[in-house]
Amino acid sequence: MAMSLKTVMAIKSYQSQADALVKNYLLADHFVPFTSVLGGMLACKLIYDLTQLVSNFYFKSYLGLTKIQRVEWNNRGMSTFHAIYISIMSLYFVFWSDLFSDQRHAGLVTFQSSTLSTFILGISVGYFLADLGLIVWLYPSLGGMEYVVHHSLSGLAVAYSVFSGEGQLYTYMVLISEITTPEINMRWYLDTAGMKRSCAYLINGIVIFFAWLIARILLFGYTFYHVYLHYDQVIKMHVIGYLLVFGVPTVLGMMNLMWFGKIVKGLMKTISKR
């Protein structure tokens, strides 16, 4: 039965009000940081629950896990989704978008930002807050102090870029390193599922080696080189941003080297057993 004219007009009125709410408040420039962070946290909760739901139906090994293992399983599903999302967006902004291009903009590259770039980073802040909260709540079951340090520094640096608009290019450069997270999580899944001696485990280990070398070692070197070339712009940032640009990549880079050493040893050990 066709709707009455009054009903149609009422629906259109509600749609207009909803559009106005989204444009004037939720996605208004001054609300974007808060909206995106909250959205990121809610998305994490949704993905965590979806991982739990899907795993219950499609993964037999999931049912045999302990309670804390199930929490970690779900948590890694959440981190994998975030890693894929932020890696793709980071690659886009760093290598394909002209937002941070020296040729296309007369302003300083360290101060370039957009509503979209801010929103994307805000989602990532929401993830780091949610994941860090879970790690601290269940400490040390989901990771030791190195994970707390990593997430704290990463979340702080990304949050500063979101709320200040400074240094977003370098934030995206560092976040490209999240491309290694799905492989690390897959290693844990295979190990937990009793597939440590499988070919899939070996192949995944090799992928981790090359991905880590490129995204967390060589790319960090390129980041420092870019900072060196644009130091005259970096030094004009607020002192907090200036310290974060140098401090966070340095600490994370040292941690990456430490973890890379463990990855190499683990890979060599796996190969030697075959």
pLDDT at residue 268 is higher than 70? yes
Q: What is the pLDDT of residue 271?
A: 84
Reported confidence tier of residue 131, pLDDT bands at 50, 70, 90: very high
DSSP for the chain, written as a single string: -PPPHHHHHHHHHHHHHHHHHIIIIITSTTTHHHHHHHHHHHHHHHHHHHHHHHHHHH-HHHHTS-HHHHHHHHHHHHHHHHHHHHHHHHHIIIII-STT-TTT-SS-GGG---HHHHHHHHHHHHHHHHHHHHHHHTTTTT--HHHHHHHHHHHHHHHHHHHH--SHHHHHHHHGGGGGHHHHHHHHHHHHTT-TTSHHHHHHHHHHHHHHIIIIIIHHHHHHHHHHHTHHHHTTS-HHHHHHHHHHHHHHHHHHHHHHHHHHHHHHHHHHT-
Residue closest to 230 by CA, chosen among 160, 167, 175: 167
Residue of 88 and 16 predicted with greater confidence: 88
Reported confidence tier of residue 122, pLDDT bands at 50, 70, 90: very high
Q: Is 103 inside any structural domain?
A: yes
Q: Is 193 inside any structural domain?
A: yes
| Averaged pLDDT for residues 155-182 | 97
Q: Is 25 inside any structural domain?
A: no
The 10s digit of each residue's pLDDT in 197-206 is 899 999 999 9
| Averaged pLDDT for residues 208-223 | 97
Q: How many domains does the chain have?
A: 1
Domain that holds residue 221: 31-272
Q: What is the pLDDT of residue 14?
A: 53
Determine contact, residues 142/185, Cβ cutoff 8 Å.
no
The 10s digit of each residue's pLDDT in 59-114 is 988 999 999 999 999 999 999 999 999 999 999 999 999 899 877 666 789 999 99
The number of angstroms, rounded, from the C-alpha of 160 to the middle of its chain's C-alpha atoms is: 15
Would you state the structure tokens that stand for residue 7, as one six-digit string? 């009903």
pTM: 0.88
Q: Is 106 inside any structural domain?
A: yes
Q: What is the pLDDT of residue 10?
A: 59
Q: What is the pLDDT of residue 20?
A: 46
* Mean pLDDT taken over the chain: 90
CA 119 – CA 30 distance, rounded (Å):
11
CA 19 – CA 7 distance, rounded (Å):
18
Q: Sign (positive/negative) of CA torsion 80, 86, 89, 93?
A: negative
Determine contact, residues 141/132, Cβ cutoff 8 Å.
no
Q: Is 23 inside any structural domain?
A: no
| Averaged pLDDT for residues 148-167 | 96
The 10s digit of each residue's pLDDT in 24-55 is 544 556 789 999 999 999 999 999 999 999 99
Q: Is 199 inside any structural domain?
A: yes
| Averaged pLDDT for residues 235-249 | 96
Determine contact, residues 240/165, Cβ cutoff 8 Å.
no
